[in-house]
Structure 1
Amino acid sequence: MKLIVFLSLFLIPWNTVYADEKAVGVEIVLAVDVSSSVSQKEHEAQIEGIAKVFEDPTILKIIDSLPTGKIAVSLLLWAGENQQLIAVPWQEISDQKTAQNFATYVRNNQKKPWTGLLYTALGDALQAAGKSFEQNEFEGDRKVIDISSDDPSNRGAEPAIVREILLSQGITINGLPILADRADQETRRELVDYFRVNVIGGPLSFVNPAVSFEHYAEAFSQKFSIEISGIPWSGNFASYSDADLDPSSLELKVTAQFAKRDN
């Protein structure tokens, strides 16, 4: 009898927490780079681009098509080591009102939270994003980290090592490299390849680059639509050789999606 009572002290709280979790189709952390390489213009482009997507009726239709009709989303701003901020806590998105509320919360972050010399600690950002899943009140069929950056990681934990830990927890990582400040097609492809090799991972993981600040909203919308639905763009992944990453191109394209790795 004493053993049963002892075990119940551990089992009852765990069951209570589990029962209280809210079922959603997918949990998504939007991890946005705000390091020193990110100009104020670039930061505002990211913030406004994200906000606009939540005001798009098409996104609501995708959410409504899920078995739960709901998703959970949070906004994480990150830069160097020990610089990760949950700018918008986890929110349930299920209708126009909740989507508009999230867009408003996002727009409240037009100002970067840190100034001065900041590093790009992409691995630390992934760690913080992964930890946030443990601290929310939702249970999704899928868990996704949607991370943007305009540079490779140059500080802190190694992204590829953190990735493997997160994959073991059932978390998918998708990447949105921002290419606007890169002067030529070669350096743009270098960043895209860095994401493909070192950052993304998990079922149907992909990279979708934003080739300009003005095009960020379109890139994010494409990416977010795939993450919500769990369905690859056009039914399959395009080769990155098909992507137009040339800064001099008159027709900007955001169509590059890559499978996780070649092996």
Structure 2
Amino acid sequence: MRLSALLLALAAPAHAQDTDLELVLLADSSGSITQSELMFQRESYAAAMTDPAVVAAIMNTAYGSIAVTYVEWATNQSVVVPWMQIATPEDAQAFAAALDGPPRRATGRNAIGSALLFAADMIETNRIDGWRRVIDFSGDSTGNSYGPAIEDGRDEVVSRGITINALAILSERSIMDGRDGLAQAYADRVIGGLGAFVVEAATRDVFAEAVKRKLILEISGVPTRRIVAGLETPED
């Protein structure tokens, strides 16, 4: 090889790793989420990611793999699990194990617009080339005390070709506070992009199953309702 060609090859960036889906799991860690609720969220995502139906959905994608990172958000954002490639049950188990242990570092009040932009930057600055790019946002309110407006953050993310889906976490507290329309609020203000949808989880038991259903829909790319209340099945 000629010296000039060799130098050009050495200077070129390493080839990005191809995968079917780049997925940011963006979980609520704001003040309304207790420590036990935070750990329950992590446990639910760990259980969902290792569920045979979710692993099968991953292995049945065009590339047979996805890339996932787990981020908690509040006033600031904290990466709990860095980007991991998942293609086998063993990969899924490794991701689940990584969720167990890191301390809570995202604290304070809500900054949803900032959280969405942080997740988008994580997608755009990694060394992964995903056929689809999705932010899986979850939260229990539409409060936005810091940073850009929710709609401004959403519009910027969608303009980059990234889809935002949402999981509306309903609690007795949120219903008593008159936020029982949270799923619709997320549909109006948070989600966006191709095939975007909202899943609603009204109880602790339903939450774990809703996480599993949401992951399967995102991984498989199956068209679904704009709002999936509880555990309704997707539309054909």
Counterpart check, 1:113 vs 2:118:
no
Match of 2:156 among 142, 162, 165: 165
Q: Is the 8 A contact 2:198 2:227 kept in 1?
A: no
Superposition CA RMSD, Å: 2.4
Q: Is the 8 A contact 1:209 1:256 kept in 2?
A: no
- Deviation of the 1:231 alpha carbon: 0.6
Between the aligned residues of both structures, percent identity stands at: 33
Counterpart of 2:231 in structure 1 is 254
Q: Is the 8 A contact 1:45 1:216 kept in 2?
A: no
Bigger Rg, which one:
1
CA distance in 2, matches of 1:41, 1:210: 17
Summarize the Cα distance change of 1:207–1:256 in structure 2 as closer, same or farther, 3 Å threshold. Answer: farther
Counterpart check, 1:70 vs 2:65:
yes
CA distance in 1, matches of 2:136, 2:97: 19
CA distance in 2, matches of 1:158, 1:92: 32
Letter in 2 for 1:123: G
Deviation track 1:143-192 (CA, whole Å, cap 9, x = no partner) reads 00001111113222111111111111110000011102323595212x11
TM-score, normalization by structure 1: 0.80
Counterpart of 1:139 in structure 2 is 129
CA distance in 2, matches of 1:34, 1:196: 21
The SS at the match of 1:131 is helix
Counterpart of 1:148 in structure 2 is 138
- Deviation of the 1:203 alpha carbon: 0.8
Counterpart of 2:92 in structure 1 is 99
Deviation track 1:50-74 (CA, whole Å, cap 9, x = no partner) reads 0001211111111111111010000
Counterpart of 1:33 in structure 2 is 28
CA distance in 2, matches of 1:239, 1:147: 14
CA distance in 1, matches of 2:58, 2:85: 11
Q: Which runs of 5+ in 2 are unaligned?
A: none
Summarize the Cα distance change of 1:177–1:104 in structure 2 as closer, same or farther, 3 Å threshold. Answer: same
Counterpart check, 1:89 vs 2:82:
yes
Summarize the Cα distance change of 1:185–1:122 in structure 2 as closer, same or farther, 3 Å threshold. Answer: closer
Summarize the Cα distance change of 1:40–1:218 in structure 2 as closer, same or farther, 3 Å threshold. Answer: same
CA distance in 2, matches of 1:152, 1:95: 36
Q: Which runs of 5+ in 1 are unaligned?
A: 244-252, 259-263
Counterpart of 1:183 in structure 2 is 175
TM-score, normalization by structure 2: 0.88
Counterpart of 2:209 in structure 1 is 218
